[in-house]
């Protein structure tokens, strides 16, 4: 059986009727950015089903515009923390109280290109606009859109977050809990128990303030600027503006998005660590920079942001890292003492990050680096299958198998290659 058919079968097996779970057992719900990437892959063979993925995600949107990181349409005992731990949230469907990197606008623009997509774009534009507005209103701190939880970044236990987590105290009244992730996966490759206690401490605080998002940003125990959220949102704002103009949206709507983009461009320098020559996470309250190159550092290309100097140094770091690993792009700097080739976001190659990085590099004229980032992931998939992430030294699959976004990225890339060949 071809990898293309295996990818389609993987997505079909993870289909739960209008939405796709990442993988059975470990992740039994609908995840925000997972669904966006799933739609990207499904659109290569079934546009109607891809569109259902997007509209089902939007069904979980809160009245304030936030689209949560997880939508709970059931209460699966195999997963923690499930809906009961998040308390009474504000959407029509139970959910988490935090969001995730907003790739949706970019995916919608990509899969609805051409006149035939106009109706679909019109169907979701207002919801996506409201979500972006929520980010800019509820999550802005010190002039940049920030994050209140490592889970919101999508990069749960990346060593970057230790700066903020180390300043936290575990809540004295934190209710007891039983982790479920370690029953599915070797605990050596998952976040530590102390990290989990602090993740749950943030959730505990959110519940205590009835998920008031502005208070969560201003008063919560964790507040950091994340290159992933920053660059993904900046790119998404630009794609949203392009759609707004194509749709003939009122000037006030376009002007608002233009203002968001200007704000994002101005904030890019806040993330620049000149000593490292990279965009890194930064603690908002102390100003402390992270000290490693992560797999979102190069998303400046994806967002078409940063100076020529910053991009050149970023590309130099990519070449340095490529000389240290057999498969690009590791989630954490292999020259860092915190690098662990198989521990979740401490080293493995992540398909959706390689997808965005390769796309940005190609768009900004770094064709050789783009090809390396893309081809290395393809080699890992060909060697090991559709895993959640991959060991950058061996190409071995890590964490969850039969993984949806990996299958989706493969399908998207193979579709693009086919189209390029036809052209």
Residue numbers annotated as active site: 156, 388
Element (H, E) at 111: helix 104-111
Cα atoms in the Cβ-side hemisphere of radius 13 Å centred on 115: 0
d(CA 417, CA 423): 10
Are 354 and 328 spatial neighbours (Cβ–Cβ below 8 Å)? Answer: yes
How many residues does the structure list for the chain? 423
d(CA 325, CA 198): 31
Running DSSP on this structure, what letter comes out for residue 157?
A: T
Residue 356 makes CB contacts below 8 A (sequence gap 6+) with 103, 232, 299, 302
Sign of CA dihedral 165, 170, 171, 174: positive
Sign of CA dihedral 131, 137, 141, 142: positive
Structure tokens that stand for 337 in this block: 């003492």
> Which residue matches tokens 């996966």?
185
Are 343 and 382 spatial neighbours (Cβ–Cβ below 8 Å)? Answer: no
């Amino acid at each position: 059986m071809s990898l293309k058919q295996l990818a389609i079968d993987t997505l079909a097996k993870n289909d739960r009727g209008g939405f796709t779970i990442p993988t059975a057992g470990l992740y039994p719900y609908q995840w925000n950015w997972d669904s966006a990437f799933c739609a990207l892959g499904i659109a290569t063979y079934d546009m109607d089903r891809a569109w259902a993925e997007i509209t089902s995600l939007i069904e979980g949107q809160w009245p304030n515009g936030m689209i949560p990181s997880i939508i709970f349409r059931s209460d699966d005992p195999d997963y923690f923390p499930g809906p009961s731990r998040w308390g009474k949230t504000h959407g029509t469907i139970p959910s988490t109280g935090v969001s995730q990197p907003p790739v949706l606008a970019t995916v919608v623009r990509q899969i609805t290109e051409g006149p035939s997509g106009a109706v679909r774009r019109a169907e979701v534009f207002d919801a996506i606009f409201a979500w972006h507005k929520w980010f800019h209103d509820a999550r802005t701190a010190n002039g940049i859109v920030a994050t209140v939880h490592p889970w919101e970044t999508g990069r749960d236990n990346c060593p970057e977050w230790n700066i903020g987590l180390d300043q936290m105290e575990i809540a004295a009244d934190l209710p007891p809990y039983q982790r479920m992730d370690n029953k599915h996966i070797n605990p050596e490759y998952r976040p530590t128990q102390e990290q989990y206690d602090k993740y749950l401490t943030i959730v505990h605080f959110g519940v205590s303030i009835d998920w008031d998002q502005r208070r969560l940003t201003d008063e919560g125990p964790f507040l950091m600027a994340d290159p992933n959220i920053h660059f993904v949102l900046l790119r998404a704002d630009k794609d949203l503006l392009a759609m707004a103009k194509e749709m003939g949206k009122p000037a006030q709507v376009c002007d608002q998005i233009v203002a968001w983009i200007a704000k994002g461009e101005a904030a890019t320098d806040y993330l620049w660590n000149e000593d490292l020559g990279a965009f890194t996470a930064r603690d908002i309250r102390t100003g402390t920079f992270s000290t490693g190159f992560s797999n979102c550092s190069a998303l400046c290309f994806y967002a078409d942001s940063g100076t020529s100097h910053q991009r050149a140094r970023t590309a130099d770091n990519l070449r340095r890292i490529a000389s240290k690993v057999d498969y690009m792009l590791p989630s954490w700097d292999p020259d860092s003492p915190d690098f662990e080739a198989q521990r979740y976001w401490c080293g493995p190659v992540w398909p959706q990050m390689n997808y965005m990085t390769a796309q940005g590099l190609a768009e900004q004229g770094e064709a050789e680096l783009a090809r390396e980032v893309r081809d290395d992931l393809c080699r890992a998939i060909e060697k090991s299958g559709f895993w959640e992430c991959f060991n950058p030294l061996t190409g071995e699959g890590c964490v969850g198998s039969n993984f949806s976004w990996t299958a989706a990225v493969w399908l998207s890339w193979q579709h693009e290659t086919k189209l390029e060949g036809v052209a």
